[in-house]
Structure 1
Amino acid sequence: MLLAFSTWFLTNAVAPGLEAATGVSQAVIVQLTNGVQGGFILGTVGLATTGLADLLPAQLIFGASAVAAGAVNACLLFPGVTVWSMAAIRVLTGISLAGVYPIGMKMLFSAVPSARGLALGVAVGALALGSGLPHLFAASFAAAWQPVVATSSALSACAGIAVALVGGRDEVAAPAAVPTSAALSPASAPLPGEAAVAAAAPAATAADADSVRLDVAASPMAASLASPTAGQAGQRRVHGDPGAVELGAPAAHGSPGEEGAAPTRGRSSERCGGVLALWQHVPSRLAFLGYIGHMVELYAAWTSFAPLLADRLASGLDGAARTEALATASLVTFGAFAAGAVASPVAGIVADRWLGRSLTTVVLMALSGSTALWVGFVTSPAAVIAGVLLYGATIVPDSPQFSTAIGELAPPERRGAMLSVSTGLGFLVTMITIATTSLLQAAWGWGPAIALLAAGPAVGIVSMLLLYVRPEAQAMAGGRR
């Protein structure tokens, strides 16, 4: 997953060389990154609606998608490539990556059934670190952009081949029982996201008093891809023990032969209902608004790091001095991505053991939002480097906390649909903010363009504080809200 995601921000990482070689502007390069966002949305919708993620082995989908991402990405090296062909290449890259992240999440969940929260943190960290890899390559290859494209393409293809050959488990081989939310206590110290699994178990019904069902939805993408319906995904019954649930396999609940079972609803009705349910259920709505506030700044800031640093470090320089400054800018940009990757599991531990999800996300959004207010205005190289590193470290660790919070708060029968809807809308928001930040930068400069991103975490902070004082918030992080 980490290697395949080195293709995501590729054009952003090689922008100076690409501008010199093809004559495209920085604004166009930003929109090329937006093309990956759009392609990713199209790809995930396609996987969810066709059900391919359930029909084919996960390792084959992952492998083919990673190889496709590398192959499509390598097309940027073709002579005579135009702006329109580059746009098509980036959209196709995004579509290919849709078979990497959600399917990779599904494989991780199957491989580590006892630590799904940790798996979510690892996946988010891999996404962040992999997205920063092309900046590391750009620093290594100086002004040459073609080797960066070739390296990221080769790594993505190699990752796909390795996963396809080595394989992985589509289902949990030996699911482990986990306690329900009532059994969790501060001393149990769950891993990041495990509280969502525990809190998700609904009460047993009169018709089925000896079993508890759990909808596996710790990841937005995994929730939409793991099974035919959100209300019946990833369920397995544990008979004779109402205090435990078992994860990872589809249940027969709702099948025609089961006495008293409700009719199974289709995917489309579940997703349509998820949109309305997400907004009508107040705790889920507040967590969703917090997530949207987070997404307002995340990808727009990630897209801005490299050009901001290049402008501050290399402006007015020529020759070898400019090449060295651009390499430094690329290296610092990679450092910002890496800082976020390292901070993500740390934030998960803090949320699950001490602060809870609401306060952890509030602290992180306060740090990232306050950094956005000044980092674009400073001109000192040392100050802008420090600001970008701080911004990178604080802008991404709350992402898995929002996903887990929505999963913990959502009604069990709507959990998968609500997580899928929130993720899709979140990526749509990133397309808007990436485009508007680029336009504002061209008109007003870096300071106002990045400072306006602070509106996102401001909305998120208010939403999560309102959620914190609600009694339903006790369903999060084992009662830590």
Structure 2
Amino acid sequence: MKNHPPRRPARILPIIIFSQFAGTSLWFAGNAVIKDLQNEFSLGNHAVEDLTSAVQLGFILGTLVFAALSVADRFSPSKVFLYAAILGALSNLGVYFLANGFAGLVLFRFLTGFFLAGIYPVGMKIAADWYERGLGDALGFLVGALVIGTSFPHLLKNFTHGLDWKLLIFATSGLAMFGGVLIYAFVPNGPFRKSMSHFEWRSVYKVFENQSFRSAAFGYFGHMWELYSFWALIPWILAFYKEAHADAEFDVSFWSFTIIAIGGLGCVIGGKLSLRAGSSKIAFYALLISGLCCLLSPVAFDLNNLWFLIFLLIWGLAVVADSPQFSTLVAQTAPSEMKGTALTIVNSIGFAITIISLQFLKQVGFWFHEKFMFMWLAVGPALGCIAIFRLLKKGL
């Protein structure tokens, strides 16, 4: 008798997508109002790097804790997502209610990052529990939601010019809580979920014993060297260009949103293409294109308005299109009962790399002319392409 795959309700993927978007809107809430925070708390010029690093550090510690305790594999992922969304939203609100200086801002952005560890990788784990086939396509939509969520505060900022910056903090916090409730209420445990019956210390490093898993993970690490430095500094890139070109006329907040958000389209397109070409091929070529953008970035600063924005849109499209495919390869090459732990620990290491990259670029800005800063990001895509080449030969 032929076995049919378990029936998947049509609501599952749209709800996961929206909830992922809602929860990850917390990520760059601080970056979107950075000018307001600088004025309110008398912050220095490099506050954007410091506050972004605080979120990333919080996420790294959170993912380490979640991975070490195998939280997403031992407990219901939907419940984990709900609690993390609520606690992340409350931490985001702490910027308004409790922060009274730079140290307070760093603390609450750190806590927000910590609880994001229960949103982003856990959302992917929930999707993997519902999708055995076509996971690359599903994660294309899911990471696309992350991209839109990440860019959303910039869009809110664009539409709330002249209004109190605290409204954006309230809006993103409320949205995150709503997303958590939706997941809990309408997305039960998936049919492909295999839970761990007990806690294993070895699970954190056991996943790296597989060579194919290591290739997928190291490719992802190269991708992460570039991604968040580019995203975090998009407003700076646009502002720097406007200062250097008297005829430049564009809204920094709107274009920050657009350049980051177009990556969501890249994720969806890459997901669809992966159904035919395979995840490793899509990841390789997206990484190659974004790496070339890094190398060409000094030239882009000398282009006219239109071509400069087109260049950034191409970069924004390619820079994250490989992300869902790397997550797919990680999930496919990890032991089935440790998918959640595998996704979480790889995220943890990847985001640790973003801290190094951000702080490195901060120093490069002192050593070289600013327009040459982003060439250094090409190191990550180059190493990532080398790592993923092994999986290309296997046709994954």
State yes or no: 1:338 paired with 2:261.
yes
Q: Which amino acid aligns with 1:157?
A: M
User: Aligned in 2, Cα 1:19/1:381: closer, same or farther, shift over 3 Å?
Assistant: farther
Structure 2 counterpart of 1:404, from 320, 323, 328: 328
Tell me if the contact between 1:30 and 1:434 (Cα under 8 Å) persists in the aligned partners.
yes
Q: Which amino acid aligns with 2:287?
A: M
Structure 2 counterpart of 1:455, from 374, 379, 395: 379
Counterpart-to-counterpart distance in 1, 2:253 and 2:329? 34
Tell me if the contact between 1:59 and 1:163 (Cα under 8 Å) persists in the aligned partners.
yes
Q: Does the residue aligned with 1:2 lie in a helix, a strand or coil?
A: helix
Match of 1:423 in 2: 347
Q: Does the residue aligned with 1:347 lie in a helix, a strand or coil?
A: helix
Q: Which amino acid aligns with 2:261?
A: A
**Matched-pair identity in %:** 28
Q: Which amino acid aligns with 2:356?
A: I
| More deviation, 365-374/436-445 | 436-445
State yes or no: 1:227 paired with 2:246.
no
- Could you report, residue by residue, the CA deviation over 1:235-270 in whole angstroms, capped at 9, with x for unpaired residues? xxxxxxxxxxxxxxxxxxxxxxxxxxxxxx952123
User: Aligned in 2, Cα 1:445/1:17: closer, same or farther, shift over 3 Å?
Assistant: farther
Match of 1:291 in 2: 220
Counterpart-to-counterpart distance in 2, 1:402 and 1:112? 16
State yes or no: 1:305 paired with 2:234.
yes
Task: Note the C-alpha offset of 1:156.
Answer: 1.7
Structure 2 counterpart of 1:75, from 94, 104, 108: 94
Task: Note the C-alpha offset of 1:375.
Answer: 2.8
User: Aligned in 2, Cα 1:227/1:442: closer, same or farther, shift over 3 Å?
Assistant: farther
Counterpart-to-counterpart distance in 2, 1:141 and 1:119? 33
Q: Which is richer in helix?
A: 2
Structure 2 counterpart of 1:149, from 142, 153, 169: 169
Match of 1:170 in 2: 189
User: Aligned in 2, Cα 1:17/1:313: closer, same or farther, shift over 3 Å?
Assistant: farther
Match of 1:6 in 2: 25
Task: Note the C-alpha offset of 1:143.
Answer: 5.3
Counterpart-to-counterpart distance in 2, 1:311 and 1:24? 19
Tell me if the contact between 1:110 and 1:169 (Cα under 8 Å) persists in the aligned partners.
no
Q: Which amino acid aligns with 2:315?
A: Y
- Could you report, residue by residue, the CA deviation over 1:167-208 in whole angstroms, capped at 9, with x for unpaired residues? 421242xx6xxxxxxxxxxxxxxxxxxxxxxxxxxxxxxxxx
State yes or no: 1:348 paired with 2:271.
yes
Structure 1 counterpart of 2:40, from 21, 27, 36: 21
Task: Note the C-alpha offset of 1:438.
Answer: 2.3
User: Aligned in 2, Cα 1:80/1:120: closer, same or farther, shift over 3 Å?
Assistant: closer
Q: Does the residue aligned with 1:267 lie in a helix, a strand or coil?
A: coil
Q: Does the residue aligned with 1:268 lie in a helix, a strand or coil?
A: coil
User: Aligned in 2, Cα 1:267/1:30: closer, same or farther, shift over 3 Å?
Assistant: same
| More deviation, 38-47/371-380 | 371-380
User: Aligned in 2, Cα 1:77/1:316: closer, same or farther, shift over 3 Å?
Assistant: farther
Structure 2 counterpart of 1:66, from 85, 92, 107: 85
Tell me if the contact between 1:66 and 1:160 (Cα under 8 Å) persists in the aligned partners.
yes
User: Aligned in 2, Cα 1:23/1:405: closer, same or farther, shift over 3 Å?
Assistant: same
Match of 1:199 in 2: none
Q: Which amino acid aligns with 1:446?
A: E
Q: Which amino acid aligns with 1:424?
A: S
Match of 2:113 in 1: 94
Q: Which amino acid aligns with 1:351?
A: S
Match of 1:381 in 2: 305
Tell me if the contact between 2:137 and 2:274 (Cα under 8 Å) persists in the aligned partners.
no
User: Aligned in 2, Cα 1:48/1:363: closer, same or farther, shift over 3 Å?
Assistant: closer
Q: Which amino acid aligns with 1:349?
A: K
User: Aligned in 2, Cα 1:49/1:461: closer, same or farther, shift over 3 Å?
Assistant: closer
Q: Which amino acid aligns with 1:371?
A: C
| More deviation, 114-123/145-154 | 114-123
Task: Note the C-alpha offset of 1:131.
Answer: 0.4
Task: Note the C-alpha offset of 1:313.
Answer: 2.5
Counterpart-to-counterpart distance in 1, 2:391 and 2:78? 38
Tell me if the contact between 1:296 and 1:453 (Cα under 8 Å) persists in the aligned partners.
yes
State yes or no: 1:272 paired with 2:201.
no
Counterpart-to-counterpart distance in 2, 1:18 and 1:435? 20
Task: Note the C-alpha offset of 1:351.
Answer: 2.7
Q: Does the residue aligned with 1:7 lie in a helix, a strand or coil?
A: coil
Q: Calculate the aligned-residue CA RMSD, in Å.
A: 3.0
Match of 2:179 in 1: 159
Match of 1:183 in 2: none
5+ residue gaps, structure 1: 176-215, 217-225, 230-264, 477-481
Q: TM-score, normalised by structure 2?
A: 0.83
Q: Does the residue aligned with 2:100 lie in a helix, a strand or coil?
A: coil
Structure 2 counterpart of 1:132, from 148, 151, 155: 151
Tell me if the contact between 1:4 and 1:156 (Cα under 8 Å) persists in the aligned partners.
yes
Task: Note the C-alpha offset of 1:115.
Answer: 4.7
Structure 1 counterpart of 2:127, from 100, 108, 116: 108
Q: Does the residue aligned with 2:38 lie in a helix, a strand or coil?
A: helix
Of structures 1 and 2, the larger Rg is shown by 1
- Could you report, residue by residue, the CA deviation over 1:355-414 in whole angstroms, capped at 9, with x for unpaired residues? x33432232122111111233551443333222211110000111222223444557798
User: Aligned in 2, Cα 1:67/1:295: closer, same or farther, shift over 3 Å?
Assistant: same
User: Aligned in 2, Cα 1:60/1:427: closer, same or farther, shift over 3 Å?
Assistant: same
Counterpart-to-counterpart distance in 2, 1:143 and 1:92? 28
Task: Note the C-alpha offset of 1:119.
Answer: 2.9
User: Aligned in 2, Cα 1:387/1:115: closer, same or farther, shift over 3 Å?
Assistant: same
- Could you report, residue by residue, the CA deviation over 1:336-363 in whole angstroms, capped at 9, with x for unpaired residues? 2221111112112223313x33432232
Q: TM-score, normalised by structure 1?
A: 0.70
